Structure 1
């Protein structure tokens, strides 16, 4: 899914619609987590990210740990590549970020 959202979908949009090269990404709940991760891991590709009610530190809660274990096994270092709080702690940045909780 990561490669689809990062590469394939933008290519399809650029090919079929009159879109600019400036990209923003947003998501709700689990999609908010994905939007944050994509923007933080690829800061040169996005001018902004908006996340609505996202889980922002999945490596620190039982639900997130269970999901990461299912997808990434017990390699907890790999989990941090998909944890927005960890990415920000490591120095990852995006130009504009908005998180709405509530």
Structure 2
């Protein structure tokens, strides 16, 4: 089965980009482009960085940092949930053994 694709036009920092993506990924692509555009505009507004390429690199670094931080948070929650599950399983086994 062939995957349907389409060309989507997105705007990032006042530049137009045409991106080919699967039809079902269009809204995700548009959200990602809007998010990147917002981050790049935020950096540009700070006035500390000049040039679209430098702004793009700093935006990529900031987004990557946020992603890594959230990934660590999810791993910590997952570890806590695993520990809680082990405790509950132990309590269940103990309760079943006592019946």
Which TM-score band (shorter chain)?
under 0.3
Q: TM-score, normalised by structure 1?
A: 0.25
Higher-helix-fraction structure: 2
Larger radius of gyration: 2
